[in-house]
Amino acid sequence: MEERHNEFSRNLGRLITHLNRLRKRFMAERLRGYGLSGSMYMFINSLERNPGISQDFLVERFFMDKGNVARGAKKLEELGYIRREIDSSDRRRYNLFLTEEGHALVPVIRKYLTEWSELISKNFTDEERETAIELLDRMVDNSNDAVGK
């Protein structure tokens, strides 16, 4: 029984890590022409849904280092996809907004994310897709419970 748990643990971590790396590579290849790298496309998606969020919001949402988020936001600003505004209530904090160019990129990003989802779940039934999401959601809930979120 313990051996099966150890094998599950090893396989789960390896497979999730592998899927994440492959998704990053897939998205990087498709978005390279737009000057995007790393997690910048995730920032754009979040800003589209949550205009005016702070860099701290992105740090918490994506479990990233503050410096990496700041560098990514600065690069997105240089590329013309976002604008950063100093928060009027806390001058140490920046609020982020998509520019017109950033808004135009959202459908491109979503198209590639949909393409990725379809590729990794091809030959799955609708029920299998739903089950996969339900199981992963439960794992996230269990993980949040374990780390006190």
Any domain includes 6: no
- Dist. CA 89–CA 75, nearest whole Å: 25
Task: Judge whether 11 lies within some domain.
Answer: no
Kind and range of the H or E run holding 1: none
Given this model, what pLDDT does residue 112 score? 97
Q: What share of the chain is helix, strand, coil (3-state, %, to 5)?
A: 70, 5, 20
Predicted pLDDT at 92? 84
Give residue 1's pLDDT.
66
**Quick check: is 8 in a domain?**
no
Question: Which CATH number does the domain housing residue 132 bear?
Answer: 1.10.10.10
Gap between the Cα atoms of 10 and 66, Å rounded: 30
Cα→Cα distances 34→8, 41, 92, Å: 39, 10, 30
Q: Does 1 reside within a domain?
A: no
| 24 assigned to some structural domain | yes
pLDDT at residue number 96: 96
Q: What pLDDT score does 52 carry?
A: 95
Per-residue pLDDT of the chain (149 residues; tens, 9 = 90+): 677 768 888 899 899 999 999 999 999 999 999 999 988 999 999 999 999 999 999 999 998 999 999 999 999 999 999 999 998 888 888 899 999 999 999 999 999 999 999 999 999 999 999 999 999 999 999 988 888 76
Within a domain: 79: yes
In a domain, 2, yes or no: no
- The domain in which residue 140 lies consists of 17-147
CA distances from 123 to 21, 111, 133 (A): 22, 20, 16
Please give the tally of structural domains in the chain: 1
**The model's pTM:** 0.85
- Kindly state whether residue 12 falls inside one of the protein's structural domains: no
